[in-house]
């Protein structure tokens, strides 16, 4: 019964303007980046972010990439290239070609627990759907997301019981948080 309600809940949970704008994507180990320098074909590269979170780029060397926005990586590469140019450095562009490093896990009373690599940000309801939905014995009001932030561990509560029953009147952004890379959703 609860599984059948998930598509219904997704249909009723129309995102607000604040919700619909995905948070800016932060690069993860395993992601593939495309880097180009305007007018410099020899500096165009496709690179993978190494497990230690770095990339290697010609004339610059190792660049810390994991946890950074593409624009922050652009700034670091631009600064690294500056000594190579007499005038201003041409425009550096970094884009995420493949977000394969973005992973999260769903464990507990779901139909298909496991680790998922969606390639985009998802919210807790979408993550639950990717795991096949809750089983009939799941406590959908006791769902927790465990998130590591530096040395600290944060636990977020997910309140979707009413939503799965079709009631979206009391739904708020805080009830359905966005999943971050490395999160574990626990469905008791």
| Residues 121, 63 share a domain | no
Place of tokens 């631009």: 78
For strands 152-158 and 143-149, give the pairing. antiparallel
pTM score: 0.70
Q: What is the pLDDT of residues 12-55, one digit of tens each?
A: 343 333 333 456 889 999 999 999 999 999 999 999 999 999 99
Place of tokens 């779901």: 110
Residue 140 lies in a domain: yes
Give the burial class of 23: count Cβ atoms within 10 A of its Cβ; 0-12 exposed, 13-18 middle, 19 or more buried: exposed
pLDDT classification of 129: cutoffs 50, 70, 90: very high
| Residues 165, 121 share a domain | yes
From CA 149, how far away is CA 152, in angstroms rounded?
5
Q: What is the pLDDT of residue 22?
A: 52
CATH number, domain of 54, equals 3.30.1950.10
Check pLDDT > 50 for residue 135: yes
CATH number, domain of 152, equals 3.10.560.10
Q: Which domain holds residue 61?
A: 32-98
Domain boundary among 98, 117, 146: 98
Give the burial class of 49: count Cβ atoms within 10 A of its Cβ; 0-12 exposed, 13-18 middle, 19 or more buried: buried
Place of tokens 């780029």: 57
Residue 73 lies in a domain: yes
**Which helix (H) or strand (E) segment is 151 a member of?**
none
Average pLDDT over residues 146-152: 90
């Amino acid at each position: 019964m609860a599984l059948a309600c998930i598509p219904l809940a997704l249909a009723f949970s129309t995102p607000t303007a604040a919700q619909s704008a995905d948070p800016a994507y932060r690069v993860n180990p395993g992601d593939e980046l495309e880097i180009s320098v305007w007018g410099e074909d020899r500096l165009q590269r496709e690179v993978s972010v190494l497990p230690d979170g770095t990339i290697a780029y010609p004339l610059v060397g190792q660049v810390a990439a994991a946890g950074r926005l593409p624009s922050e990586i652009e700034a670091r590469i631009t600064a690294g290239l500056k000594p190579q140019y007499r005038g201003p450095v041409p425009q550096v562009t970094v884009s995420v070609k493949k977000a394969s490093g973005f992973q999260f896990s769903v464990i507990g009373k779901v139909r298909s627990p496991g680790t998922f690599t969606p390639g985009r940000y998802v919210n807790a309801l979408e993550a639950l759907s990717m795991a096949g939905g809750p089983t009939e014995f799941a406590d959908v009001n006791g769902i927790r997301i465990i998130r590591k932030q530096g040395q600290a561990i944060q636990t977020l509560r997910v309140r979707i019981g009413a939503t799965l029953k079709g009631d979206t009147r009391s739904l708020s952004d805080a009830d359905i948080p966005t999943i971050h890379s490395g999160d574990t959703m626990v469905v008791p």
